Amino acid sequence: MVRADGLVVLRTDAWDRSRLGDLDAFHLVRDSGGDSTGGTVCLHDALHQHDIQWFLEGSRQSVSIAPIPIEGEHEHYLVTIKEDGQRDVAGGRLNVALDSMRGGLWDWVRDGDDFRIYRSARICEILGIEGYVTDGTRDEWVDRIHPDDRDDVVAKVEANFKGETPIYIADYRIQAANGDWIFIHDHGRVIERHPDGTPRRWVGICADVTDMVQLQQTAQGYKAQLELALNSFKLELWEYDADRRMVYLSPQMARRFGFIESPCLKPVDEIVPLIEPSDLDGVRIAFTEFLNGKETFDAEARIGLPGNRRWCRISASRNTIRDDGALWVAGAVQDIHARKRYEFGLIDGEAQFRRMADAAPVFIWLGDQRTGDCNFVNRHWLKETGIAISHLLSDGWLDWVHEADRKKVMEAIERVCRRSNSEDIDFRLLTERQIYAHAVGRISIRYDALSEPIGILMILVDATPVKVAEARLGLALDAAQAGLWDWRIKDDLVFTIPRTHLMLGEPIPDGPVDLEWFTSRVHADDRERVLAEVLRAHADPGYEYRVTFRFQHHDGSYHWIESTGRVTERDKDGNPLRMIGLHIDINELKQTEFKLSKAIDDLSITRSRLQDMLEHAPASVAMLDRDMCYLVASQRWKEDYDLVQTPIIGRCHYDVFPEIGEEWKAIHQECLKGAVRRCEEDRFVRLNGAVQYLRWEVRPWYDRATGEIGGIAMYTEDISARKLAEKLVHDAYAQESAIFSACRDPLLMVGADGNIKKVSDTVEQVFGCGKSDIIGTPVVQLFEDLAPRLKSHPDGSLDESHLLGIAGRPFEVTILNRGGRSIAGEVNISPVQLPGSDSIQFVASVRDISDRKRIESEREQQVADMSHLSRLAVVDLMGIELAHEFRQPLGAIRNYVYSARLKMKKNAEASHVIGPFLDEIETAVTHMTSLIESIRQFGKKPEKEHREVAVESIIDGALNLAQTRLRSIGVRPQRKIAAVSDRVQGDIVQLQQIVLNLILNAADAMEEIDPSQRELRIYAEPSGGKMVKLSVCDSGRGVDPAIAESLFEPFQSTNPSSLGMGLSISKQLAEAHGGDLLLERGKPTTFALYLPVASGADE
Amino acid sequence: MGTMPDKPNKQVVYIIDDDDDFRRSLKTLLQTADFQVREFESAEAYLEAEMKEDCGCIILDLRMPGIGGKVLQRQLFQNGDRTPIILVTAYASVPVAVEAMKTGAVTVLEKPFDPPVLLEAVAKSLENGPVSVRPLNWDEVTEKYSLSPRQVEIAKLICDSLSNDQIAEKLGITPNTVRMHIKLLYEKMGVKDRVGVAMRLLQR
């Protein structure tokens, strides 16, 4: 039924086939469902629940079908067919939608294993199928699906067929008719089933999503590339979406924050805790400012997981706000941890340095390296001077420097500033106690870790204690009535301090005395004993030399002297080099001893006299009976043992001194049996805790009446004062150690034997090995060129005279660094006459001057280049001009010679006569040609293409050339060549030129003198192993002293006719050969040409 | 000894040199060797002279007062005069040699030269007649001296008067390698210096 408006109302069993046209095809499908009277048109179900409208493909009609609620068995549908131009809006929209999806409809009706399939136009086009409806199997479709997707699609279809999934959705690739793989998004469902549940009808739509997939793949490719780029450049980027409060982190960034996914998108709240809390405020402030319109965002903060945070610079710039107005910031993060740490390190380092400086017990001063102004002094300085730091800063501190030293100090600082070197300094500094401290130390430049100068450093030690100690030592020695002696065995010199001489009753001599002087004054009876003791001390390293002897005063009287000492220095074979010790005047004591023993021996002396005598004896003496009871004790004894107030006579010794131990009692018993015991040095701790050093002797005395031992006599001497003196000597050494460790340049303490005794901590950096590796080694092994300078004994051993020979003047050496480097160094050796018991030594300060040397050598090179350039200019001009001028006549001579030869061919006789002359001429011309060539070559920088040349051939060649000239003045040259010096390294032509020059000069110089006086000698001899000295001597008029200085400069000549280039060029040639040309002083006039000996291997 | 012509040559050898001594010695030498000789004391004198003889070869001094050898040679060359020229100079450099060889010189001799070398050069010039100038064929040179490609490169740069260091820099090799190649080059070409290399390459 078709309504007037074109609507057709139909029952499903009454299709108006004629009207439906192409819809017919659809009906065929439906009809084949088997129900001829009225299958249900459920087509719309595939799309909508309610209605369906679409264009009939291939026609200009559009059809819409909608269910009509009519009662009855069958559902009724309203099918609206609209003619061309009246397309339904809904239908058009579907069509457009499908088109834009590049997709279409499909409708499968199952019939057994086969399907009748309807496909809309687009699908048919893709698959290359003719006609919309085809019969086929599912496999035909499945076969066209990409093998990788096939299983997935089949599984999804099966699931939908079985009703496991309500909707079938699949994405797959299918092969188009043209062979391309098309990406399909498929969507459908079973809309009708057989009674047994198997699907009857399956409808859906599909879309060609190939472009989309490709686009997506491309996008993914770009993204991967971008990420790769980000990764490979280690860029750390972030983006902040202010609306969502989300942060995107690039892979590197995500890793920094410890996120596993990278890159990642994180809420900002998760990021904030990863910034160090103390840095967070700074970041927040900066970011807020940025959001409020500041051009850039820039903050430094520690970020990362707690415990592993690193300093980073976070930054962003304004132009990262997105177009659509949403706030979206992109920025970067840069790791600046190393820089930050360095910055902090510097600040820390400086603070730490100042803290250390404050703690150091030395004076430390820091200043500005440009102005020399003081900007810091350490606490020790403040404490010692008692001045507030504000008064010391800038140049205020100089007010406390001794006026006489002020200029010196200022100049030294200025020099250090200017030259960036370091310098030793000493001055007097006024201390709080209003006395001047002797400050000794060094000013140097401070460098940071990057070797940038950051200031001047002055470290000073208060050397006053050393000076005081020296004075105290003198006093102590005085108190101990002792004098110091120092015997240098090898030189046989005895140095004594003045006190010794006074003690010996001698006027103070100007210098040291020798042993003979000494022994001649020893009493003849004691001499043998003293010598024996000395020899024993020499032989036995551990032996403490101690001997008493009588020494003759200049007035003839003898004094008792006790001499102690030991060998302080030995050479490597153990031979003694030096002995140091003390002389103590024990005359008084000895006198007492003698008197006492005499008294004891002398019966005629009464007990009371004995007692009287003993009591007033100047020594500590006590006499005891067999029961160890005091018979008599001297006043000194009582004083020494604090017994003045205690009655002791008659009391037992052991009651008086209960602390006396068993060993003493044993000694006493032995002596009571006749033994004599003595000890030169014994330590006693008295009851009151005081420590005394005693020298004692215990001996029996005999009762003259019975001849038996009546008891013992004890002599003791308090030698504590002497021990104190010894201790002070040791203290002096401790002071020296302090200076040693305060010095910045390495210091070496060198014994007189040349071995290293002690080194400062800084040796390591210069010598490349530890302190222990250096101590004990000979100092010559540390420097490459020290040994020849020292002029040691032939066996290589050294003594202090060698070291004294080079002391006091800094000299340059090559430091043999154990790390294999050669370092240029400067060494300054100073002798140290230390007071007290140890030997004279040498302190060598070593300075690394490699930087200075490098700069110097660069400068020298520049100067050399400059002079070479100027030389080049001169030689270029003169040489080439001259060469040109010479070449013409030389060429002419050659031509004539050759012409003569051609003529002579026809005349054999002439050839015999004239031939040799022509040979000579030709030889000379050839030589001259090569000379000219050499002169020209000389203008070029010489290349080291030297050969080994026999000295003989140089001399003979030159003499050969000079023959005529020498003959003309009637000189027969004498030549002498030492066999050792037979080969040198060089260019024979140039060398011959030098020698020829010298010979011709000599000939000129001899022209004016009497022919019989004319004498020319040429000789060669080795010089210093690596050089050959080739001398040309003449008996001529000599070199005018007025021009001797400038002799080797160009245009200087004593010969008016010569060009004056000879000696200048000769010297330059010699230098170019690594040698030299010198005029020796005196007569006869001798020019010495030094040339390096050939190294052996000919190149 | 050089090749001596067995019979007197009709062709005349011109000597153009300002140095009287040298010119006369040269004349004596050539006459002794049975060559006909005519001498000129300057380039100007040569240009002004009336030429009656058949000039077989010119021995030309490079440095002379007046227009000098170089200008004269270029002038002759531009005028189409292809008389062989033996250029003599006190100081032969590569640029001088290259320039001379490109404008028709058969050889460049450095004073003082060995007389037989000159005689041979003269004899050869007379024998070969006028010079034919054609562009240098590197393939030919390469084959003639069996040079390696690197040596050819170096030889070219030598003709451009580059120093060892410059060559090294240009070719991106070390100066030592350059020296080694040059040494081989000298050996292969039988010369002893760079001027020799340049002359050998440009010789026809």
Q: What is the pLDDT of residues A152-200, one digit of tens each?
A: 998 988 888 888 888 888 888 888 888 888 888 888 888 888 888 888 8
* Conformational region of residue A925, where left means phi above 0, alpha means psi within -120 to 50, and beta covers everything else: alpha
Peptide bond into A889 cis (omega under 30): no
**b/e per residue A959-970 (b: at least 16 CB within 10 A):** bebbeeebeeee
Tell me whether A929 touches chain B (CB under 8 Å). Answer: yes
pLDDT of A10 > 50? The answer is no
Count of beta carbons in the 10 Å neighbourhood of residue B195? 21
Tell me whether B24 touches chain A (CB under 8 Å). Answer: yes
Contact B22 A891 (CB under 8 A): yes
The ranges of chain B annotated as CATH 3.40.50.2300 are 12-128
Residue A882 to residues A458, A875, A877, A932, A1050, Cα–Cα distance (Å) = 63, 10, 8, 8, 16
Q: How far apart are CA A111 and CA A1077, in angstroms?
A: 122
Contact B24 A892 (CB under 8 A): yes
Per-residue pLDDT tens digits for A662-690: 888 888 888 888 888 888 777 777 666 67
Contact B22 A883 (CB under 8 A): no
Per-residue tokens: A352:
């730490």
The ranges of chain B annotated as CATH 1.10.10.10 are 138-202
Helix axes B20-32, B115-128, angle to 10 degrees: 70
In sequence order, the 6+-apart residues with CB closer than 8 A to the CB of B103 are B73, B74, B77
B29 contact residues in A (CB cutoff 8 A):
895-896, 898-899, 902
Determine the distance in angstroms separating the CA of A887 from the nearest CA of chain B, rounded to an integer.
Answer: 5
Mean pLDDT value across residues A379-404 = 82
Mean pLDDT value across residues A910-929 = 82
pLDDT grade for A617, boundaries at 50, 70 and 90:
low
Determine the distance in angstroms separating the CA of B204 from the nearest CA of chain A, rounded to an integer.
Answer: 27
Q: Which residue of chain B has the CA closest to A883?
A: B90
Count of beta carbons in the 10 Å neighbourhood of residue A95? 18
Mean pLDDT over each residue of chain B, to the nearest integer? 83
Task: Please count the helices (runs of H) and the strands (runs of E) in chain A.
Answer: 34, 43
Per-residue pLDDT tens digits for A1024-1069: 777 888 899 988 877 777 777 667 765 544 554 444 456 777 787 7
Size of the A and B interface in Cβ pairs below 8 Å: 61
Tell me whether A940 touches chain B (CB under 8 Å). Answer: no
Determine the distance in angstroms separating the CA of A891 from the nearest CA of chain B, rounded to an integer.
Answer: 4
User: Given the DSSP bridges, would you call strands B55-61 and B12-16 parallel, antiparallel or unpaired?
Assistant: parallel
Residue A630 to residues A122, A537, A665, Cα–Cα distance (Å) = 145, 39, 15
Q: Which is higher by pLDDT, A801 or B70?
A: B70
Tell me whether B117 touches chain A (CB under 8 Å). Answer: no
Q: Which residue of chain B has the CA closest to A928?
A: B112
Mean pLDDT value across residues A482-506 = 63
Cα–Cα–Cα angle for A728, A730, A733, rounded to 5 degrees: 115
Residue in the block written with tokens 């609306």: A243
Residue in the block written with tokens 């460098």: A447
Q: How far apart are CA B165 and CA B178, in angstroms?
A: 8
Contact B24 A891 (CB under 8 A): no
pLDDT at residue number B13: 92
Long-range contacts of range A342-346, CB-CB < 8 Å, 24 or more positions apart?
Answer: A342/A449, A345/A449, A346/A448, A346/A449
B92 contact residues in A (CB cutoff 8 A):
none
Contact B115 A893 (CB under 8 A): no
Mean pLDDT over each residue of chain A, to the nearest integer? 72
Per-residue pLDDT tens digits for A549-594: 887 777 777 777 778 777 777 777 778 887 777 777 777 767 766 6
Per-residue tokens: A11:
């029952």
Determine the distance in angstroms separating the CA of B19 from the nearest CA of chain A, rounded to an integer.
Answer: 7
B26 contact residues in A (CB cutoff 8 A):
892, 895
Tell me whether A943 touches chain B (CB under 8 Å). Answer: no
User: Given the DSSP bridges, would you call strands A983-986 and A947-950 parallel, antiparallel or unpaired?
Assistant: antiparallel
pLDDT grade for A842, boundaries at 50, 70 and 90:
confident
pLDDT at residue number A1068: 78
Q: How far apart are CA A103 and CA A186, in angstroms?
A: 9
pLDDT at residue number A1053: 47
Q: Which of A880, A899, A929 sits opposite B112 (nearest CB)?
A: A929
Determine the distance in angstroms separating the CA of B122 from the nearest CA of chain A, rounded to an integer.
Answer: 14
Tell me whether B128 touches chain A (CB under 8 Å). Answer: no
Per-residue pLDDT tens digits for A760-775: 777 777 777 777 777 8
Per-residue tokens: A1095:
């190294």
Quote the distance between the C-alpha of residue A413 and its chain's center: 27
A889 contact residues in B (CB cutoff 8 A):
21-22
Per-residue tokens: B78:
């531009």
Q: A interface mutation test: which of B111, B117, B176, B193 has the most A CBs within 10 A?
A: B111
pLDDT at residue number A980: 60
A893 contact residues in B (CB cutoff 8 A):
25, 112
- The yes/no answer on whether domain B138-202 falls in CATH 1.10.10.10 is yes
Q: B interface mutation test: which of A895, A901, A922 has the most B CBs within 10 A?
A: A895
Q: A interface mutation test: which of B4, B17, B22, B30 has the most A CBs within 10 A?
A: B22
Determine the distance in angstroms separating the CA of B76 from the nearest CA of chain A, rounded to an integer.
Answer: 25
Fill in the DSSP letter of residue A970: T
* Conformational region of residue B73, where left means phi above 0, alpha means psi within -120 to 50, and beta covers everything else: alpha
Per-residue pLDDT tens digits for B124-174: 888 888 887 667 777 888 888 888 888 888 888 888 888 888 888 888 888
Tell me whether A896 touches chain B (CB under 8 Å). Answer: yes
Reduced to 3 states, what is the DSSP secondary structure of residue A100? helix
Determine the distance in angstroms separating the CA of A993 from the nearest CA of chain B, rounded to an integer.
Answer: 20
**B14 φ, ψ to 5°?**
-95, 135
Tell me whether B120 touches chain A (CB under 8 Å). Answer: no
Rg (CA), chain B: 18
Q: Which residue of chain B has the CA closest to A922?
A: B114
B5 contact residues in A (CB cutoff 8 A):
none
Q: How far apart are CA A1038 and CA A1043, in angstroms?
A: 11
Q: Which residue of chain A has the CA closest to B110?
A: A887
pLDDT at residue number A542: 75
Contact A896 B114 (CB under 8 A): no
Mean pLDDT value across residues A443-468 = 73
A903 contact residues in B (CB cutoff 8 A):
32
For residue A696, the cross-strand partners are: A679, A716
Contact A883 B91 (CB under 8 A): yes
pLDDT grade for B16, boundaries at 50, 70 and 90:
very high
pLDDT at residue number B14: 92
B114 contact residues in A (CB cutoff 8 A):
894
Tell me whether B115 touches chain A (CB under 8 Å). Answer: yes
Residue in the block written with tokens 């200025």: A414
Q: Which of A880, A883, A888 sits opposite B21 (nearest CB)?
A: A888
Q: Poorest-confidence range of A315-324, A928-937, B127-136?
A: A315-324
A940 contact residues in B (CB cutoff 8 A):
none
Tell me whether A898 touches chain B (CB under 8 Å). Answer: yes
Q: B interface mutation test: which of A881, A882, A887 has the most B CBs within 10 A?
A: A887
A890 contact residues in B (CB cutoff 8 A):
111-112
pLDDT of A1008 > 70? The answer is yes
User: Given the DSSP bridges, would you call strands A558-570 and A576-585 parallel, antiparallel or unpaired?
Assistant: antiparallel
Q: Which residue of chain A has the CA closest to B91?
A: A884
Q: Which residue of chain B has the CA closest to A881?
A: B90
Per-residue tokens: A170:
């699949």
Q: Is the pTM of this model over 0.95?
A: no
Report yes or no: A696 and A682 within 8 Å, Cβ to Cβ. Answer: yes
Long-range contacts of range A269-277, CB-CB < 8 Å, 24 or more positions apart?
Answer: A269/A245, A271/A247, A274/A303, A274/A304, A274/A305, A275/A301, A275/A302, A275/A303, A276/A301, A276/A302, A276/A303, A276/A309
Tell me whether A814 touches chain B (CB under 8 Å). Answer: no
Contact A899 B115 (CB under 8 A): yes
A896 contact residues in B (CB cutoff 8 A):
25, 28-29
**A78 φ, ψ to 5°?**
-100, 120
Contact A889 B28 (CB under 8 A): no
Q: Which residue of chain A has the CA closest to B23?
A: A892
Q: How far apart are CA A166 and CA A159, in angstroms?
A: 9
- The yes/no answer on whether domain B12-128 falls in CATH 3.50.90.10 is no
pLDDT of A853 > 80? The answer is no
pLDDT grade for A42, boundaries at 50, 70 and 90:
very low
In percent, the amount of chain A with pLDDT more than 90 equals: 0
Mean pLDDT value across residues A290-312 = 82
Determine the distance in angstroms separating the CA of A898 from the nearest CA of chain B, rounded to an integer.
Answer: 6
Tell me whether B157 touches chain A (CB under 8 Å). Answer: no
